[in-house]
Structure 1
Amino acid sequence: MPHQSTETPFTYPDVGATRGEFPPGYRHFRRRRRIGSGRAVFEQAAADILAYRMQKATGIFAQATTPTAEPGTEVRMFFGLARIGITAPARVVYVVDEPDRRGFAYGTLAGHPLRGEELFVAEYDPTDDSVHVVVAAFSRPGPWYARLGSPVVRQIQRIFSARYINALRPN
């Protein structure tokens, strides 16, 4: 008998598509900002990304099943006040572990207001010693309230991507 996964399925069919060209039928988003220079800045940013520091610094991080991102890790973000709000579950799809590029992507699970994938990576450019952080996503609204508030959801995505990147800027 073939092995059947007991994991909750992703809410979109294009799992892993943040590795390359984003699929049609979604809103595409990409923000890339320089946060400094030097290998030490890159190493710190990469470690912070993998430890969910971007999400923790914005106050939306609720929990993860592992202390650092790895494929299969389930994460939950929470948008709201006190106990009133929206829980946004996701699962790490893959981890990027290259000499000059590190981070991870997660995909949405049932209950998340969007359907799609988001990528968080630190990039080091040895030609000029610069360090950039990239937040990129493809998504579309999931439940009725996300479809109804689609323009607001897009604005929230822009605001949080800037906050994510600012959380990694060296002091």
Structure 2
Amino acid sequence: MQPFTYVNVGATRDAEMPAGYRHVDRDVAVEGSLDQAAERLMTWQMHRDAGLRVDAGADRAAPGVEVTLHLLVVRILCRVIYVLDEPDRRGFAYGTLAGHPEQGEEAFEVYRTAEGAVRARIRAFSRPATLLTKVGGPVATLVQDFMTGRYLRALQK
């Protein structure tokens, strides 16, 4: 099994993400039920609705499942690290593999608040891994922010 390209595997679960990376933490309201949002998330539909082509080793996110996401000519290689499967909280995190333009981890979660509202949250830490993302610094950051927004909008359907 190919190793992850960073050492802080699983750190999106921690209250503080690791230093030395760019951090993303976005949380939005979701219309509809937790079950509907979780199904879109766990079956890769969120990624498809965000405009990516998905080649996954399984129909659902599960620990160890490898997924290659395609954005135009860019291949984004990841492996699922952990899954959240609680009555009021579902999701998963994946980490980067060799060939991914970034190094780091991204966690996707849908949850129900104490008041009954459904929300979606994305937490990530990353840094450039290829010459293209190192040289394209601000552009790479814009692309990452753009895709985070598309993921969240896909879950808001």
* Fold-level similarity (TM above 0.5): yes
Q: Which residue of 2 aligns with 1:11?
A: 5
For 2:3 and 2:59, locate their aligned partners in 1 and report how far apart those are by CA, in whole Å.
22
For 2:81 and 2:144, locate their aligned partners in 1 and report how far apart those are by CA, in whole Å.
20
RMSD between aligned residues? 1.1
Is contact 2:83-2:91 (8 Å) kept? yes
Specify the SS of the correspondent of 1:90: strand
For 1:29 and 1:106, locate their aligned partners in 2 and report how far apart those are by CA, in whole Å.
14
What one-letter code is carried by the residue in structure 1 that aligns with 2:65?
T
**Which residues of structure 1 form unaligned runs of 5+?**
1-6
Q: Which aligned runs of 4 or more in structure 1 are off by greater than 2 angstroms? A: none
**Which residues of structure 2 form unaligned runs of 5+?**
none
Q: Aligned to 1:112, which of 100, 119, 134? A: 100
Alignment partner of 1:65 is 2:57 = yes
TM-score by length of 1: 0.88
Larger Rg: 1
Q: Aligned to 2:122, which of 112, 130, 135? A: 135
Specify the SS of the correspondent of 1:33: strand
For 1:43 and 1:72, locate their aligned partners in 2 and report how far apart those are by CA, in whole Å.
23
- Residue 61 of structure 1 deviates from its aligned partner by 2.8
TM-score by length of 2: 0.95
Identity of aligned residues (%): 42
